[in-house]
Structure 1
Amino acid sequence: MTLHIETPLIQSRPLSLAAGRSIWLKLEALQPPGSFKIRGIGAACEIHARQGKRRFVSSSGGNAGIAVAYAGRNLSIPVTVVVPQSTTERARQLIRQENAELVVHGETWHEANELALSMLGPDDAFLHPFDDPRLWEGHATLVDEVARSGPKPDAVVLSVGGGGLFSGVVEGLRRNGWGDVPVITVETRGAEGLARSLEEGRRVELERIESIATSLGARQVCQHAFDLARQHPVRSCVVSDLAALDACERFLDDHRILVEPACGASLAIPYQVRDMLPEGNILVVVCGGVTASFDQLRKWRAALAE
């Protein structure tokens, strides 16, 4: 038995009508800790547990930390999560809710990550939020499930932060014989590390994150994701924070599921940027995220209106 569940794959009538394409949704928002992260992180935690590790240490902008805390509680292993100051209060509460120790440090994830690494002891396991082959292999199970139950997609739409989900999806496409399926990578303006890197032909490190989509808040994508983006058919797209927020609210009306702006970025493509999509069946990874409440969405909208 795994720590993640097999999530529904549904054909969305509202998004299909909006996009003029057949839109399929992989509902990772329904994972027990609220996002796709538990696939790879859960698998990695189970490996560390079998190896006798006695504590999990992680750095996170929110969702990865929640997944590690959830895994630790289910495996009866203590967890320490270091988050930056930009992590929402709701995310902090959800990490504590899983009985994990929470440490707030630094303005960005990179600073939180440095502290997390400095805390490691000989019996501790470090859980990186996105740069770990065990995570990519775990995230690839998402595509395995699609291959068993749905049509072969003509494109996959997903959000990119540090590149863990992208790396896993490409691995999943390849191992299911779908290596020719293009991936549309979506980022919000102010957190577009992959888009900038592809433009310049090198891994770019952003000076700062200037987006409300803090779950996409890695200033630099991992090397593996950058390499894959230059090998695999990829179309990079950058949307505004407002477009991501609009998509979150519209998706809530259409499917009664509340997701955060990092996920709304991907949903903005079928809702608003349909020209990015080929004809046929489009798979959108609804990556989820429980770090935003409806009240938080309203606060972000008010802030963007200023």
Structure 2
Amino acid sequence: MIALADIQRAQARLADTLAPTPLVLDHALSDRLARRVWLKGELFQRTGSFKARGALNWLRTAGPKELAGGLGAVSAGNHALGLAWAARQAEVPVTIVMPENASPFKVAGSRDLGAEVILHGDINAAWALMHRLVEERGLTLVHPYDDERIMAGQGTVGLEILEQAPAASAILCPIGGGGLIGGIGVATASLRPSLALLGVEPAGAASMAHAWARGGMHRLAHVETCAKSLAAAIVGEHTYPLSRRHVCELVAVDETAIHRAMRHLLYRGKLAAEPGAAVGVAALLEAAVTLPPEGDIVVVITGGNLGREELEAFL
């Protein structure tokens, strides 16, 4: 399990390259809830999402043997972008397998950063192919969320929130595989244990709720959601227990709610976020989550990687 010290070391390790992302006050949501609602702008991070944090932390702690044969990963897109960018800094080749329905914007972006991108089946089929490629090519697998170095890098989001929002009583965080909320949970539980950490999933890919209901990791047979960055079919060996330890509540939002939240972010928040980044706002708009009685609310806006054609679906 990662500890606070791992996240603090990651923050120091990344500081020369990755700047803190801003908190943006959502005036409309603040008026609606009669309390300040801050949006943590991870869409402004390098490669357009929080994933650059974990990827760069992984690369900067990797040994020569891990890098010698090149890297491999499965990703719906943001991990691919973050890892391709970080690996290019170290001149290490990367092979990414993405589902066939992956965002064309993210596929093109990953290739532009030098990654070999293979489109294959759904997320479960993509994982099966990557495991074969690891054996055949001698790649080192860099897991998108179930890796302690990745989670430590993602946890730096939590440290920044604690520094930037001293009056916050709750953080709403999207959940895909659970790496981000796992890292944030370690930071907040260590430094501000009274803060409520609330997880939000798309109803069509509620893999963490699926695990909670069954008392451990269980794969979803099928995922279907416009929030493709959250479409993990199974949570992680590390992320599951961290979520059980630190997450106060899990909620799911449906596709209609995500569309509504996307329009809110575009027209009221002035942010071109991607659907997976909008689920926390969706939970607030739908009053789907139990909030502390007072204090500021922080919603993590995890990324903003989507092309024009994808964006048009939410206009």
TM superposition score normalised by structure 2: 0.87
Choose from 261, 272, 289 the match for 2:275. 261
Distance 1:59 1:249, change over 3 A: same
Distance 1:112 1:275, change over 3 A: closer
* Letter of the structure 1 residue corresponding to residue 125 of structure 2: E
After TM superposition, the structure 1 stretch with the greater mean CA deviation from structure 2, 274-283 or 208-217, is 274-283
Q: Give the distance between the partners of 1:123 and 1:116, measured in 2 at CA.
A: 11
Q: Give the distance between the partners of 2:203 and 2:126, measured in 1 at CA.
A: 23
After TM superposition, the structure 1 stretch with the greater mean CA deviation from structure 2, 21-30 or 292-301, is 292-301
Q: Which residue is equivalent to 2:182?
A: 167
User: How far 1:267 moved relative to its partner?
Assistant: 1.4
Q: Which residue is equivalent to 1:143?
A: 158
Q: Give the distance between the partners of 2:234 and 2:184, measured in 1 at CA.
A: 19
Aligned-pair identity (%): 29
Long gaps (5+) in structure 2:
1-12
Q: Give the distance between the partners of 1:215 and 1:178, measured in 2 at CA.
A: 28
Partners of 1:61 and 1:215 within 8 A in 2: yes
Q: Which residue is equivalent to 1:296?
A: 310
Render the CA deviation track for 1:56-111: whole Å, top value 9, x for unaligned.
21111111011111112222222211111121211111111112111112222x32
User: How far 1:33 moved relative to its partner?
Assistant: 0.3
Render the CA deviation track for 1:228-273: whole Å, top value 9, x for unaligned.
2322242111111121122112111223221111111111123332
> Which secondary structure state, in structure 2, belongs to the residue aligned with residue 154 of structure 1?
strand
Q: Which residue is equivalent to 1:113?
A: 127
Distance 1:147 1:194, change over 3 A: same
Q: Which residue is equivalent to 1:56?
A: 71
Choose from 264, 284, 290 the match for 2:299. 284
Q: Give the distance between the partners of 1:275 and 1:129, measured in 2 at CA.
A: 27
Long gaps (5+) in structure 1:
302-306
Q: Which residue is equivalent to 1:194?
A: 208
> Which secondary structure state, in structure 1, belongs to the residue aligned with residue 134 of structure 2?
coil
Number of aligned residue pairs: give it: 298
* Letter of the structure 1 residue corresponding to residue 129 of structure 2: L
Partners of 1:135 and 1:164 within 8 A in 2: yes
User: How far 1:140 moved relative to its partner?
Assistant: 1.2
Q: Which residue is equivalent to 1:91?
A: 106
Q: Which residue is equivalent to 1:40?
A: 54
Distance 1:232 1:119, change over 3 A: same
Q: Which residue is equivalent to 1:241?
A: 255
Q: Which residue is equivalent to 2:225?
A: 211
Q: Give the distance between the partners of 2:25 and 2:301, measured in 1 at CA.
A: 12
Q: Which residue is equivalent to 2:197?
A: 183
Partners of 1:66 and 1:98 within 8 A in 2: yes
TM superposition score normalised by structure 1: 0.89
Render the CA deviation track for 1:45-64: whole Å, top value 9, x for unaligned.
22226667142211111110
Q: Give the distance between the partners of 2:225 and 2:297, measured in 1 at CA.
A: 26
After TM superposition, the structure 1 stretch with the greater mean CA deviation from structure 2, 68-77 or 157-166, is 68-77
Q: Give the distance between the partners of 1:245 and 1:50, measured in 2 at CA.
A: 45
* Letter of the structure 2 residue corresponding to residue 270 of structure 1: L
Distance 1:197 1:148, change over 3 A: same
Q: Which residue is equivalent to 1:10?
A: 24
User: How far 1:120 moved relative to its partner?
Assistant: 2.9
Q: Which residue is equivalent to 1:304?
A: none
Partners of 1:19 and 1:274 within 8 A in 2: no
User: How far 1:275 moved relative to its partner?
Assistant: 5.5
Q: Give the distance between the partners of 2:134 and 2:215, measured in 1 at CA.
A: 34
Q: Give the distance between the partners of 1:239 and 1:104, measured in 2 at CA.
A: 28
Distance 1:52 1:293, change over 3 A: closer
Across the aligned residues of Structure 1 and Structure 2, the Cα RMSD in angstroms comes to 2.2
Q: Give the distance between the partners of 1:17 and 1:101, measured in 2 at CA.
A: 46
Q: Give the distance between the partners of 1:233 and 1:215, measured in 2 at CA.
A: 20
After TM superposition, the structure 1 stretch with the greater mean CA deviation from structure 2, 145-154 or 240-249, is 145-154
Q: Give the distance between the partners of 1:248 and 1:267, measured in 2 at CA.
A: 8
Partners of 2:185 and 2:243 within 8 A in 1: no
Q: Which residue is equivalent to 1:125?
A: 140
